[in-house]
Chain A
């Protein structure tokens, strides 16, 4: 575990020069919007965290990290596992910050301070501050989607190589579309995973309440973590057969 933490620190220091300024800029913009106009925008801070992960493979290629990994006293499994836990950690910490700001935003409701309270725009703003559960739901869903997507792409790039990035993306989109089409077909023929539209609707309604949204968010976080670990394990197993 100690080696995994060292690799996470290594990755953070590698990406920081590319990421910190952009992240602060995006975070400030989202927080300002989130506090005054629409708390839901806080969920987009997670996109500002992408530069903490995306440049890593490019730097590794340019700086010949395959040699560095061969020289450092750390196992290849720890290197791979560290990268996937790092991906989860970066987005998870961002998500925690988003949740904290969402709570502050809904508690303070700073939109009260804005002028023209009766304008049409302000009606939307007032509505945006009404449902804390919706804000949190968007935070959880966006975090999970981004985290899983980035971890999946990391696995594909490490296994098939960055030079095949576009092919990997195209293939992944086709697979996703196929799964979605299959799901729709199942739903329409009444044999879906979520048995009927009635149950679907019922679940969506429940997520309007904090007492259901928070457990749902925890489940999503666990799914994201498990998938990151699984992707890391698959990648480590595939890479262990290769030479550095």
Chain B
């Protein structure tokens, strides 16, 4: 499989926060959910991919091109959606189209206005008056109108109502129908990832905690419950985010460690949300967080 995005050993330090050798790749034709709690380094990684942040180490290849040396060629083929609008808020959609059009060789004005009309956006009102969902759609219309091959979305669904979120996910699903494209979207709303992502990269404290297919992730971990006294020797150390209650405990466990467990202990499939919660608890158990501030 050909990778549309490859991040290798990305390191970046901002004061107390650092990305530590972040490595993952996204094959063509797939959607990757980029998840992690706030401050885990998702936005810094995306800013590095976009060459907006200077990296200390590592390399990023997009379409096989270097993200720094070939940044202009790469951006011609990239569509980017941030959590807030980055276009001139006092201009109307028509004026914005005139403003942005010359920068993209493959800009398609007809396609842009078709999308604007499909999304139900008024083309003569200043975009600053748009709702968050409308602004999101406008950024997507811009991304789709220059035939972007890779769409990068940074927290696109945060602050959106359920209907707008659903619409956005549908648009991404439709977009990825072309197998030469790819989508990387960061979010802390894991339900969105579970719904549309094929691949997942979980970032925690600036490190990649997991990267692979969504199915691998959901099969790799389970939530273990039961009375602490039934835990076999040596297993306690392998548990992630161990939390003891009056009548028992709960923790995340690798499915490799499930073999030979006593029947008194129960386990069930872990959702991505639960995984994030348990790895955060593990930090508390260890009494530290390596990246407290971003």
Nearest neighbor of B142 in chain A, beta-carbon distance: A71
A13 touches B91 (CB 8 A): yes
A64 touches B91 (CB 8 A): no
> Of residues B53, B76, B99, B104, which shows the largest number of chain A Cβ atoms within 10 Å of its Cβ?
B99
User: A195 interface residue, CB < 8 Å from B?
Assistant: no
Contact with B along A1-32 (1 / 0, CB 8 A): 00000100110011001100000000000000
CB distance from B88 to the nearest CB of A (A): 5
B102 touches A62 (CB 8 A): no
Nearest neighbor of B98 in chain A, beta-carbon distance: A13
User: A244 interface residue, CB < 8 Å from B?
Assistant: yes
| Total A-B residue contacts, Cβ distance less than 8 Å | 71
Nearest neighbor of B84 in chain A, beta-carbon distance: A64
Dominant SS among interface residues on chain A = helix
A73 touches B75 (CB 8 A): yes
Nearest neighbor of A9 in chain B, beta-carbon distance: B102
CB distance from B145 to the nearest CB of A (A): 13
Docked complex: B57-112 residues within 8 A CB-CB of A = 71-76, 78, 80, 82, 84-91, 95, 98-100, 102-104
Alpha-carbon gap, A67 to B87, bound state (A): 9
Residue from the list B47, B87, B88 in contact with A70, Cβ < 8 A: B47
Alpha-carbon gap, A18 to B90, bound state (A): 10
User: B213 interface residue, CB < 8 Å from A?
Assistant: no
User: B235 interface residue, CB < 8 Å from A?
Assistant: no
Q: Point out the residues of chain A lying under 8 angstroms from B114, CB to CB.
A: none
Alpha-carbon gap, A70 to B50, bound state (A): 7
B72 touches A243 (CB 8 A): no
Name the interface size band of chain B. 20 to 34
Residue from the list A13, A67, A68, A72 in contact with B95, Cβ < 8 A: A13
Name the interface size band of chain A. 20 to 34
Instruction: Known contacts A70-B51, A73-B104; decide if A64 and B85 are in contact (CB<8 Å).
Output: yes
A interface residues, Cβ below 8 angstroms from B? 6, 9-10, 13-14, 17-18, 59, 62-68, 70-75, 243-244
B interface residues, Cβ below 8 angstroms from A? 47, 50-54, 71-76, 78, 80, 82, 84-91, 95, 98-100, 102-104
A63 touches B47 (CB 8 A): no
Instruction: Known contacts A13-B95, A13-B98, A243-B52; decide if A73 and B89 are in contact (CB<8 Å).
Output: no
Alpha-carbon gap, A64 to B54, bound state (A): 19
CB distance from A210 to the nearest CB of B (A): 41
A6 touches B50 (CB 8 A): no
A63 touches B87 (CB 8 A): yes
A67 touches B99 (CB 8 A): no
Alpha-carbon gap, A71 to B50, bound state (A): 7
A14 touches B104 (CB 8 A): no
CB distance from A207 to the nearest CB of B (A): 42
Instruction: Known contacts A70-B47, A73-B76; decide if A63 and B99 are in contact (CB<8 Å).
Output: no
Q: List 25 A-B contacts (CB under 8 A).
A: A6-B102, A6-B103, A9-B102, A10-B99, A10-B103, A13-B98, A14-B99, A17-B90, A62-B89, A63-B88, A63-B89, A63-B90, A65-B86, A67-B86, A70-B47, A71-B50, A71-B78, A73-B72, A73-B73, A73-B74, A73-B75, A73-B103, A74-B72, A243-B54, A244-B53
Instruction: Known contacts A6-B102, A14-B88, A73-B103; decide if A244 and B52 are in contact (CB<8 Å).
Output: yes
